[in-house]
Structure 1
């Protein structure tokens, strides 16, 4: 174990956060001893104590709420924790945090640069399917990035300066010629019509007495640029705008605020255009020293002053987007169409390119793709409207190192045109993502399984970009279904609660007045219009398994972190969604029963079941896709499975909501929701489950969901498990589950007595399977199992979709055996699968009290298990029917000592 000390001091899950948005922020730390008491002291910037908890007899070290005098907005605080073990061994930790601004007092104007009205491109789902799209040059359709400057004078240097800023669009800012912060694509993606995040920056080091200039480059971003499946533009607005406040504190106690105003001036910059999908064009011939105070902007145009508007402003929550890694080029290959650069890994990001001296006006083009074809030729795997993913640099005749500023792409390969030669040292892939802490570890003696886990992590990193997206190249939409199935796996790999909480803020903002939870968030006015006029899938607003994310995701976060506040924040939205399901169930009948005279008892049962409407069902079930064109096949699984899937998730949401009500000490609500869940399950069994455990749709996914969501009475579970096993064996030991059932398949087999078959499915090398992807060169999780066909044919699909990576949670829980048994990891079970066929498994999962690490080996006799347990976690090692308590620290257990409990 680590040296005894208080460490990992956090406020609202973050280390030294600059702008905590909570009236009663919560403090956490790790104490490497058996804590029996603690004391928290908080002081303001003047050194005055604002809270002293006193000595509190408690072993708790996580999420202890502030209980002092009200904190001041936009202020800095220091805090100290003392942790005791008995009467001696006092450990101390110190840190600091800042509070968020009070945005109700915002007085800065929204300023809008004078800019040409961009061509608004609107496309329907049918347009996308037909492949219709623009045929003109991007420069004719897109507008330049706008530059904005506002000068101000300071009589003296402030002792403290905080810049608050947000935009309709995405921005980069400079003060005194120095970049403000290290974020990219700020302020990120929000449901802008309802909320827009304000960033807080510490800029004291960038200010000087005399003339200062705040310079901002403003691009379309998610606000006005091309986003979503259809690639339509201006989905939130067609003009970009900016607002900011600079809060200053001086040595003598004076305070001042400088605000964005009509005094700003604007002009087009060297970026001819910048679009998240289309790409970016930078003309170095038009570069200016425009960020310095000496630059003359008298010829620039005045901005449009829209006045102050505080209604949508919220403090930024979670982690900003940053450059989180760099990957060197693995190889470069000349082709007649340009140099192909392989970075060895599918990522979300962009290319930083060293450009030699070429003629002024010459264009260097960087195209992006996730894969090459079977013959190693360039292959654009993502097709559709506005998906060019091409960046262009126009040379000024000098050598340069260039990286795009306002776009990102999903790619592994780049094709570079316009240069005679490209060497591996010339190109770097810059990974762009929300800057989460990645804390999990999973390695084994099998390289393919290790690669599978790495693929999951890379897909998580590539899609956790401002919001959790489905894919970083084609849609970049915050689909709720993907997050619902992947949330458990995500928690093992990274500290995700602040990031996902921010997305849940958007999801709640997008919830409809009737309680429907959208299938993706953020949701734009264009999305709303498209659903109103769309048909089939294009008309879906809410869907079973997708909308249920509003219940399942907060519960998962609570289970893995112990954070009750995530439940409190989302409970009203959960109840509204559940009420919508209940009303719809009472009002509608499935099409097959609408013309049938139902007995009163059956009508009563049907009135309980949410089993109507358009849903995605068990989306992309492999057997329903095989041998058919994608646009025809995608409707088969929804048609077959929606009537079963919807009430199963209805019951699941009711059950989770009842548990949540219990956690929040609402016993009446808990009992009422629990009773409704039981009645829905009973009606489901009566309507759809045979006495022999059979279901009306003989697909693996239906049995996996029925078992995993506890839809079956105890006497029929074994028979249903046997039916599931039969379907898996009949499919050659291969999975046949779609998006919603995938997380439940292996556990359903395992818990119904078919452990060997669960292992067969995991180790399966034929498609559809996880290791088929690995064997075919995958570096991320694919959207479809046959992204690369056995004959090498490449499909025009995404190669970076994390949904099927939900298996990663199973690897941690079953192979390594690390699983929580109470919320927040207060108790845990270590139950490794020593019979899985591996020689070594080495894994670690972060908990609020520190990492739990497990390493087991069978390469030599006796086999051994080493388990590290942090103080604060009560853990048991379970093998067969024997349980061994684990002490904090390192536990080494020769398995020979447990020989009666397990056959090696």
Structure 2
């Protein structure tokens, strides 16, 4: 193969309507009988999303190929072994490619940004055949291909898809032309494909007060509805999607500009519909126009996300905590669709760096996220390289650079933003901890360096990161709904604490990558920043702005001197108790506050904070029936109305980052070396939970931890893969060193 994986294939476009999906096709006589085919490989990609079929059969069970990458520099192609598919047919071979808008021409963004990579979508493919006698044949997109209309006159990720069954088998010809695409951007896929994962049937169906029929699938999910139906030709079935109900009707206001509307037009015969060129975030659907009675057998929800193996599990004696973990898992499913998104339902669905910076550790425990996040970090690196020294973009891929917002709206310019920019370091740190891949860590290091070098101009002579703009403790529950960035924590205190953590791990990564001078450089920066923080922001253990987030960060990131750390821990616990154990942190503090409490001896307070049910708290959404983590602590108010803020999502994993603490502290399963080359088993029981069971599929094998306490004392069961060393710390302080095997231990 040449360096061009699609050598010989041209990128093809057509004069199809902008909203419509076109089909490109060719029929080709084969050089030899199909029975003599010993190898057949199809490689394809698109600016847009494509579906490939050979002789009418899909070549793969993946959907929304080629996925979303930073298309300007990284366009993934897919490679499929199609030998059985090709060899099993007879006669001329037909290759079809259906092309939709996808992310490339998706009118992406919020506030009517309508950001696109270009106004013309295109597809290319090459099919290489090998025969028994060693001869080969290539079928590639070119000027001998035809194009035609399909049964999809409308497709949009945000707005949904129309499928008109009357148009099936009745195409109109389209004009084909070649599209100029930079072929140097072609890369082999690293991230896993997007696939259908499971299906859910409705749990309840009832008439909507305003007309139509409401359907509840019992779980907030991401995907689409699939159905088989028969009715009079021309009958239109409209399906609208939303995550919640409000006052008995579909709660669509949080979708903002996303229509999330599918339309199926019946042919008069038996029709099957599945809108695979879009996706929706929903639990509820409003169906209108359905012929006859709508039953639980009429529809099924197809759950779609990137392929990821489940690696971590947790259960405990508190069913609400189990539901919280369930919500975190489903939040990851819904938002790990090609890129780690903020939300999957409204006119956004962007790869916000701050969200995954907060959540990466939890994500890497729940699912094997190694390839998925490694692929995204490759986009982060190239976006940062081309960001004109502004540092890590707020979203990756950074489609917002193509925004066309109205004149009355704009975002403040971003540059060197704490937490969001720190994703360049914190996400690789989570992957290094979970998987211990030194080669990949070295690949991530250049983006860490670019991030820190973008920060340096905003460090004042005091040594503090107190220059430039910050998002601070985003979505502090005390911030007004219309101003989610107006948190209690001083943004410069947040940024400077984050810089200590970031510089410290960048030094470690540089050392692993063999960049000795850089390792020393960032180690010095960490020491200098820590000293500046203590000099300017700490007085007798009290941290400037004296709120839970600043204490959580200063403790969790080991910024404070020992004496001040103890005082700060006590003050944090005092603030938590004063708030009645309701949550008072936003994006910055939430992942770390329970850690800061338990690591300073305030275990009971950490448990009380976790188990609180009044609003705002982690369990308040559970009491309100949530099946995923919410964007706001009060995305739905106690009276059942939706938060009036413009930003209100019911599937946002960032605030679910407490799951990492649950797995490691409540569950007691902790990595003691990168890649779990060594394990630390240290459950820390607290009031309200009497038993917990945790398991994780490490690269060495499965580790499980189960503990229980009752009137007879504390018992612990540990199972380790052969040869894996572990340090077991019991609640009474006793430490056992073991290697592999199963272990039963007790304590008073």
**Match for 1:759 among 598, 607, 610?**
607
Q: Partners of 2:10 and 2:410 in 1: how far apart?
A: 43
**Match for 1:311 among 184, 192, 212?**
184
After superposing the two structures, state which structure 1 stretch, 509-518 or 458-467, moved more: 509-518
**Match for 2:108 among 211, 227, 233?**
227
Q: Partners of 1:741 and 1:565 in 2: how far apart?
A: 31
1:610 Cα deviation after fit: 2.4
Question: Residues 552-631 of structure 1: matches in 2 within 5 Å?
Answer: 552-585=426-459, 604-605=461-462, 608-625=463-480, 630-631=481-482
**Match for 2:380 among 498, 507, 526?**
507
Q: Are 1:482 and 2:355 counterparts?
A: yes
Q: Are 1:432 and 2:304 counterparts?
A: yes
SS at match of 2:92: strand
1:861 Cα deviation after fit: 3.3
Q: Partners of 2:213 and 2:458 in 1: how far apart?
A: 57
Instruction: Name the CA shift for 1:163/1:289 in 2 (closer, same or farther; >3 Å).
Output: farther
Q: Partners of 1:726 and 1:838 in 2: how far apart?
A: 22
Q: Are 1:745 and 2:593 counterparts?
A: yes
Partner of 1:707: 555
**Match for 1:254 among 115, 126, 135?**
135
Question: Residues 805-884 of structure 1: matches in 2 within 5 Å?
Answer: 805-859=656-710, 861=712, 863-879=714-730, 880-884=732-736
Q: Partners of 1:389 and 1:429 in 2: how far apart?
A: 14
Q: Partners of 1:166 and 1:378 in 2: how far apart?
A: 37
Q: Partners of 2:390 and 2:371 in 1: how far apart?
A: 24
Instruction: Name the CA shift for 1:531/1:392 in 2 (closer, same or farther; >3 Å).
Output: closer
**Match for 2:391 among 506, 516, 519?**
516
1:516 Cα deviation after fit: 0.5
Task: Give the CA RMSD over aligned residues.
Answer: 2.1
**Match for 1:398 among 254, 263, 269?**
269
Q: Are 1:285 and 2:170 counterparts?
A: no
Q: Partners of 2:358 and 2:345 in 1: how far apart?
A: 21
Question: Residues 407-806 of structure 1: matches in 2 within 5 Å?
Answer: 407-419=278-290, 420-474=292-346, 475-511=348-384, 512-514=387-389, 516-524=391-399, 526-528=400-402, 537-540=411-414, 542-585=416-459, 604-605=461-462, 608-625=463-480, 630-631=481-482, 633-637=483-487, 641-690=490-539, 692-795=540-643, 797-806=648-657
Does the Cα contact within 8 Å between 1:515 and 1:576 map onto a contact in 2? no
Partner of 1:888: 740
Q: Partners of 2:370 and 2:122 in 1: how far apart?
A: 30
Partner of 1:334: 207
Partner of 1:205: 84
Q: Partners of 1:496 and 1:482 in 2: how far apart?
A: 15
Q: Partners of 1:451 and 1:731 in 2: how far apart?
A: 24
- So what's the TM-score if we normalise by structure 2? 0.94
Q: Partners of 2:501 and 2:684 in 1: how far apart?
A: 28
Instruction: Name the CA shift for 1:323/1:231 in 2 (closer, same or farther; >3 Å).
Output: farther
Instruction: Name the CA shift for 1:522/1:734 in 2 (closer, same or farther; >3 Å).
Output: same
Does the Cα contact within 8 Å between 2:234 and 2:266 map onto a contact in 1? yes
Q: Are 1:171 and 2:50 counterparts?
A: yes
After superposing the two structures, state which structure 1 stretch, 344-353 or 150-159, moved more: 150-159
Does the Cα contact within 8 Å between 1:108 and 1:307 map onto a contact in 2? no
Does the Cα contact within 8 Å between 1:262 and 1:302 map onto a contact in 2? no
SS at match of 1:659: helix
Once the two structures are superposed, what CA deviation does each residue of 1:26-66 show, in whole Å capped at 9, x if it has no partner? xxxxxxxxxxxxxxxxxxxxxxxxxxxxxxxxxxxxxxxxx
Q: Partners of 2:169 and 2:707 in 1: how far apart?
A: 60
SS at match of 1:431: strand
1:343 Cα deviation after fit: 0.3
Q: Are 1:183 and 2:62 counterparts?
A: yes
Aligned residues: 734
Instruction: Name the CA shift for 1:737/1:394 in 2 (closer, same or farther; >3 Å).
Output: same
Instruction: Name the CA shift for 1:469/1:180 in 2 (closer, same or farther; >3 Å).
Output: same
Q: Partners of 2:16 and 2:532 in 1: how far apart?
A: 60
Once the two structures are superposed, what CA deviation does each residue of 1:760-818 show, in whole Å capped at 9, x if it has no partner? 10111111111111111010000111122222222262100000111111111011100
1:654 Cα deviation after fit: 0.9
After superposing the two structures, state which structure 1 stretch, 362-371 or 511-520, moved more: 511-520
Does the Cα contact within 8 Å between 2:390 and 2:415 map onto a contact in 1? no
Instruction: Name the CA shift for 1:872/1:520 in 2 (closer, same or farther; >3 Å).
Output: farther
Does the Cα contact within 8 Å between 1:339 and 1:417 map onto a contact in 2? yes
Partner of 2:75: 196
SS at match of 1:668: helix
1:668 Cα deviation after fit: 3.1
Once the two structures are superposed, what CA deviation does each residue of 1:513-534 show, in whole Å capped at 9, x if it has no partner? 426010111112x525569999
1:714 Cα deviation after fit: 2.0
1:401 Cα deviation after fit: 2.8
Does the Cα contact within 8 Å between 1:508 and 1:570 map onto a contact in 2? yes
- Unmatched tracts of structure 1, length 5 or more: 1-72, 74-100, 119-142, 291-298, 587-603, 900-904
After superposing the two structures, state which structure 1 stretch, 877-886 or 528-537, moved more: 528-537
Does the Cα contact within 8 Å between 2:24 and 2:147 map onto a contact in 1? yes
1:424 Cα deviation after fit: 0.9
Does the Cα contact within 8 Å between 1:162 and 1:204 map onto a contact in 2? yes
Does the Cα contact within 8 Å between 1:323 and 1:433 map onto a contact in 2? yes
Partner of 1:153: 29
Once the two structures are superposed, what CA deviation does each residue of 1:520-549 show, in whole Å capped at 9, x if it has no partner? 11112x525569999774433552110111
- So what's the TM-score if we normalise by structure 1? 0.78
After superposing the two structures, state which structure 1 stretch, 464-473 or 712-721, moved more: 712-721
Q: Partners of 2:321 and 2:261 in 1: how far apart?
A: 34
Q: Partners of 1:887 and 1:652 in 2: how far apart?
A: 32
Q: Partners of 2:85 and 2:697 in 1: how far apart?
A: 37
Structure showing greater radius of gyration is 1
Does the Cα contact within 8 Å between 1:870 and 1:889 map onto a contact in 2? yes
Instruction: Name the CA shift for 1:657/1:886 in 2 (closer, same or farther; >3 Å).
Output: same
**Match for 1:214 among 95, 113, 131?**
95
Instruction: Name the CA shift for 1:861/1:887 in 2 (closer, same or farther; >3 Å).
Output: farther
Q: Partners of 2:323 and 2:306 in 1: how far apart?
A: 23
Does the Cα contact within 8 Å between 1:106 and 1:308 map onto a contact in 2? no
Partner of 2:221: 347
Q: Partners of 2:262 and 2:453 in 1: how far apart?
A: 48
**Match for 2:124 among 238, 243, 250?**
243
Instruction: Name the CA shift for 1:811/1:801 in 2 (closer, same or farther; >3 Å).
Output: same
Once the two structures are superposed, what CA deviation does each residue of 1:701-736 show, in whole Å capped at 9, x if it has no partner? 111111112222222111111221121111112221
Does the Cα contact within 8 Å between 2:504 and 2:522 map onto a contact in 1? yes
